[in-house]
Structure 1
């Protein structure tokens, strides 16, 4: 009967467990070993890896390596045999220190999505005679430095949209809009100030809105998966037929999100600001302004001075509790870009969280549920008896 020597503790510990590392920085730590009985250890090895992985089926999987570091660790002032092995005794803690530098080039930020991830970890191996290697693993976080203060990301971004409307194939005026943001690069917690103009000459009442959208693109074996998500939104006032509206100082705050991942060949994380107009009975008119979410910025964006001023800028007509208005489904060419095939179109994505019907012209009488009559007593004056 073979009795295996027990290892009481074997784990990886980082010098700064909460630190988020950037390219070029040094990752340090130690491997801790404690045994329950006298044990001969031939080697303690470490392997550090950083891998981007995409997977959604057996035939669609791909990996990209950012980091690979291997080393055999030695303890300081610890006597070793001629073959490099050591004798460990119970009651003692043994520490093997390790350290390595992350590559200077662009690294993918730590990320976990629906069909892929970017992960970094250190795995330790404990080698003993006549035993399979024992393993211990621990992940650490890496954030690729994306500086949004570059000239390209500090330049304004703008766009225009114009669409002729029809009602039962009869011309029904047009809707036009133009929007601009003062720069393309932002960081978490900053406010995006939107300047926009809207014109409505059709017979319907429309509502301008804006939303921050995330787009995760996964590529493997020549195929593409795209996952989009609406993160936050703001809305403006209703615009009736023949009227215009303008946004000056309308803002939307960047939520807590991961920085953009743009340098990876198999996985991309992109963001955009969609300024759009909801039109009852028709497709939304959408203007896409690309964003880059960074990890560092020397300047601070202007913020709303008080809650009252923010509330006043968000004032709109009273939202009625009325059912959603049917909307014509978007055409295939409108929702599928030339370079990607979306898993879900953008317009239904915006519909999901828009809430109640946008136009007060569609109203209905709510269904009232009457309470049952109270318990009462009838008195027969002739017989002086009570009937419940």
Structure 2
């Protein structure tokens, strides 16, 4: 095999190995050959796109595949081209390194995301083209995190919800609650303070529960698929009948929790805080409040400060 190694790699700029709008990615394409070869072109490609796909079943014989995609950018640079007078269309035996730089565009570009039903990818690719041969390709992905949208309506405003429920089955009375949070927007690791004012004017005891959960929505061809998953659950002591109580809980948002994705038309990652009053033999009253997880405000760091790198596997 003439081409022994063909790969692409890049240098990280911070300890999280993440990038955002306006960052410049520096890296290199590595070509190792056992003998001299002539090439038509060596191309660097950077692109980002979102894709959703799932199958819906109707009866035993009808299966419908739904899909959608959305592109955000695709940038190509010709590193080498055939026919240049400097002889760059010929690669001699040995290992060759071709550096590249790429500046991520500004704009509303969604963060990297991956699930079984959809994904948002940010990739760097390299293609080596020769006459009468199948192109040789290599690729690697990088983690992109959107900048926080601090202009989102209500982001730093208090959130409020209320609910009441009558108890009629083997009991009587009314149960109500009012739930408050300090704001809607939080960063990973922040403390989420929630206050619930609970009034139990029924003959039953109630068990308050606090749940932080994620909601993933996927859209394609006018249809939607939604998945939810509980992240944190906390319970408190039951509230006796004919009593009132104000409960304050502080929930620590996990540091590894991905930021919300609200700027993609086919994939959304949202978070909710749910307060539930567990009442036997009665539909549980619940209040849901929106939570927006904002990315860390980590700036770019020079290569000399942190020498992290990410390498791809060879792709043929």
Q: TM-score scaled by structure 1? A: 0.69
Partners of 1:46 and 1:200 lie apart in 2 by: 65
Partners of 1:175 and 1:297 lie apart in 2 by: 42
Q: Residue deviations 1:175-199, cap 9 Å, x none?
A: 1111101111001111111111111
Partners of 1:141 and 1:212 lie apart in 2 by: 25
Query: Which of the pair has the greater relative contact order for Cα pairs under 8 Å at 6+ separation?
Result: 2
What is the aligned counterpart of 2:92 among 89, 92, 96? 89
Kindly indicate whether the alpha-carbon contact (under 8 Å) linking 1:127 and 1:133 is maintained by their aligned counterparts in 2: yes
What is the aligned counterpart of 2:70 among 46, 64, 74? 64
Q: Which has the larger share of helix? A: 1
What is the aligned counterpart of 1:143 among 130, 134, 145? 145
Q: Residue deviations 1:32-51, cap 9 Å, x none?
A: 11101222223211221101
Partners of 2:272 and 2:144 lie apart in 1 by: 23
What is the aligned counterpart of 1:132 among 134, 150, 156? 134
Highest CA radius of gyration, 1 or 2? 1
Stretches of structure 2 that go unaligned for 5 or more consecutive residues are 56-63, 299-316
What SS class does the counterpart of residue 100 from structure 1 fall into? strand
Kindly indicate whether the alpha-carbon contact (under 8 Å) linking 2:169 and 2:281 is maintained by their aligned counterparts in 1: no
Partners of 1:199 and 1:65 lie apart in 2 by: 50
Which residue matches 2:52?
54
Kindly indicate whether the alpha-carbon contact (under 8 Å) linking 1:121 and 1:137 is maintained by their aligned counterparts in 2: yes
Distance 1:165 1:84, change over 3 A: farther
1:225 aligns with 2:228: no
- 17-26 or 234-243: which moved more? 17-26
Partners of 2:220 and 2:107 lie apart in 1 by: 23
Partners of 1:276 and 1:148 lie apart in 2 by: 30
CA deviation after TM superposition for structure 1 residue 86, in Å: 3.0
Q: Which has the larger share of strand? A: 2
Q: Residue deviations 1:73-110, cap 9 Å, x none?
A: 049xxx975496533233x3212222222221111100
1:36 aligns with 2:34: yes
What is the aligned counterpart of 1:14 among 7, 10, 26? 10
Stretches of structure 1 that go unaligned for 5 or more consecutive residues are 299-388
Partners of 2:4 and 2:280 lie apart in 1 by: 67
Matches within 5 A, 1:354-373: none
Distance 1:132 1:85, change over 3 A: farther
CA deviation after TM superposition for structure 1 residue 238, in Å: 0.7
Partners of 1:209 and 1:49 lie apart in 2 by: 44
Distance 1:60 1:22, change over 3 A: same
CA deviation after TM superposition for structure 1 residue 69, in Å: 0.6
CA deviation after TM superposition for structure 1 residue 130, in Å: 2.4
Kindly indicate whether the alpha-carbon contact (under 8 Å) linking 2:43 and 2:80 is maintained by their aligned counterparts in 1: no
Q: TM-score scaled by structure 2? A: 0.85
CA deviation after TM superposition for structure 1 residue 24, in Å: 1.8
CA deviation after TM superposition for structure 1 residue 296, in Å: 3.5
Q: Over aligned residue pairs, what C-alpha RMSD do you find?
A: 2.3
- Equivalent residue pairs, number: 287
Which residue matches 1:320?
none
1:173 aligns with 2:169: no
Which residue matches 1:216?
216
